[in-house]
Amino acid sequence: MADKTLDWSFGLRGNNGKYLTMEAHLNALNFNGPNMKKKQIFFLEQDAADASIVYIRTWRNTYVGVKNPGTLDSTCNADSAEKGDDQKWVIEAQDDGTWCLKTPDFNYMRFEKGGERIGCQNAEKDPEGSSVFIVHLAMHPQVNIKNVNRKRYIHLAAEGDRVTCDEDAPWGDDAMITLNFFNDGSYGLMACNGKYVQNTGELGAEGSGDGVKWTLEFHGGKLAFRSKANKKFLTCVGGPGLCRADKEQAGSDEIFVLEDSRPQIKMTSWQGKKVSLFGGAEVGADQKETRDTEIFQIATTPSGKWSIMGKNKGGHIVYFRESNGSIMADQSDVTPEAEFEIEWLQNCLAIKAAGKYITVKKNGKLAANSDSITDEAKFVYEMVNRPRLILRGAYGFINELPSSVLECNKATYQTYVMHVKAGECQISSQNGKYWSVNADRSVVSVNGGAPTAFYLTFVEDSKFAVSYIDNGETYYMTGEQNGGLSFSSKAIGNNSTWEF
Helices and strands: H and E segment counts in the chain: 0, 49
265 vs 53, higher pLDDT = 265
Do residues 113 and 189 share a domain? no
For the four alpha carbons of 164, 462, 383 and 389, in that order, the dihedral sign comes to positive
Which residue type, as a one-letter code, is found at position 269?
Answer: S
Q: What is the mean pLDDT of the chain?
A: 92
Is position 3 within any domain? no
| End-to-end Cα spacing for the chain | 20
Distance CA 373, CA 357 (A): 7
Q: 451 and 400 in one domain? A: yes
Supply the pLDDT for residue 1. 45
Tell me what the mean pLDDT of segment 64-73 comes to: 81
pLDDT in tens, 406-442: 999 998 999 999 999 999 999 999 889 999 999 999 9
Residue-wise pLDDT tens digits, 226-241: 999 999 999 999 999 9
- Mean predicted confidence (pLDDT) in 278-283: 93
Mean pLDDT, residues 16-22 taken together: 92
pLDDT exceeds cutoff 60 at 3: no
Q: How many Å apart are CA 191 and CA 467, to the nearest integer?
A: 28
454 contacts 435 by C-beta, under 8 angstroms: yes
Rounded Cα–Cα distance for residues 222 and 324 (Å): 44
Q: Is the pLDDT of residue 195 over 90?
A: yes
Domain boundary (360, 383, 406) is at 383
Task: Count the Cβ atoms, other than its own, within 10 Å of residue 331.
Answer: 14
Q: Please determine, for residue 287, whether its predicted confidence score (pLDDT) is greater than 50.
A: yes
| pLDDT at 120 (0 to 100) | 83
Same domain, 317 and 305: yes
Q: Do 170 and 96 reside in the same domain of the chain? A: no
The larger pLDDT score, comparing residue 395 to residue 51, is at 395
Mean pLDDT of 75-94: 82
The tally of domains found in the chain comes to 4
How much is the pTM? 0.91
pLDDT value, residue 4? 53
Residue-range definition of the domain harbouring residue 28:
8-137
Q: Flag whether 1 is in a domain.
A: no
Is the pLDDT confidence value at 2 over 50?
A: no
Residue 67, pLDDT score: 82
Helix (H, G, I), strand (E, B) or coil at 63: strand
393/441 same-domain check: yes
Q: How far apart are CA 192 and CA 471, in angstroms?
A: 36
According to DSSP, the β-strands at 463-470 and 473-479 are: antiparallel
Q: 131 with 149, same domain? A: no
CATH number where 452 lies: 2.80.10.50
- Which band of pLDDT confidence, cut at 50, 70 and 90, is reported for residue 77? confident
Read off the pLDDT of residues 96-153 as tens digits, 9 standing for 90 and up: 888 899 998 888 898 877 767 788 877 787 767 889 999 999 999 999 999 999 999 9
pLDDT digits (tens, 9 = 90+) for 345-376: 999 999 999 999 999 999 999 999 999 999 99
At residue 406, the pLDDT reads 98
